[in-house]
Amino acid sequence: MPYQQLTSYGLSSRFEQDALLFPELTLARVTGQHRNIYTIITEHGEAHALVSGKFIHCANTNTDFPVVGDWVMVSLADIEQTAIIHHILPRKTTFERRAAGTQNTVQIVASNIDYIFICMSLNNDFNLRRLERYLSIAWQGTATPVVVLTKSDLCADLANKLQQVAAVSLGVNVLVTSILQSDNYKVFAPYLSKEKTVVFLGSSGVGKSSLVNQLLGKDVFLTQAVGSDDSGRHTTTSRQLLVLPNGGAVIDTPGMRELQLDTGNLAKAFEDIESLALQCKYRNCTHTSENRCAVQQAISDGTLSLERLESYRKLARETQYEGLNSRQLEHAKINNMFGSVSEFSKLRRHVKNNRNN
pLDDT one-digit tens code per residue, 62-85: 899 999 999 999 998 765 678 999
Mean pLDDT of 148-163: 94
The pLDDT of residue 3 is above 50: yes
| Contact (CB, 8 A) for 238 and 109 | no
DSSP annotation of 154: G
Burial class (CB within 10 angstroms; exposed 0-12, middle 13-18, buried 19+) of 295: buried
Percentage of residues in the chain having pLDDT higher than 70: 81
pLDDT at 248: 83
Which domains, ranges and CATH numbers included, belong to the chain?
A: 4-88 (2.40.50.140), 94-252 (3.40.50.300), 266-356 (1.10.40.50)
Say how far apart CA 57 and CA 330 lie, in whole Å: 34
pLDDT one-digit tens code per residue, 289-305: 888 999 999 999 999 99
What are the start-end ranges of the H helices in 141-249? Answer: 158-168, 184-188, 208-216
pLDDT one-digit tens code per residue, 4-44: 889 889 999 999 999 999 999 999 999 999 888 999 999 98
Percentage of residues in the chain having pLDDT higher than 90: 55
* Dihedral sign, Cα of residue 183, residue 187, residue 190, residue 240: negative
What are the start-end ranges of the H helices in 28-179? Answer: 53-58, 128-140, 158-168
Across the chain, what does the average pLDDT equal?
Answer: 84
Q: In angstroms, how far is CA 54 from the centroid of its own chain?
A: 30
- Rounded to 10 degrees, what is the CA torsion of 315, 251, 55, 78? 180
- Strand extents, DSSP E, the chain: 26-34, 37-42, 45-51, 71-75, 83-88, 94-98, 106-111, 115-121, 144-150, 173-176, 197-202, 240-243, 249-252
| Contact (CB, 8 A) for 315 and 133 | yes
Which amino acid belongs to residue 109? V
pLDDT one-digit tens code per residue, 109-153: 999 999 999 999 998 889 999 999 999 999 998 899 999 999 999
Q: How far is CA 139 from CA 163, 245, 265, 320, in A?
A: 21, 28, 6, 17
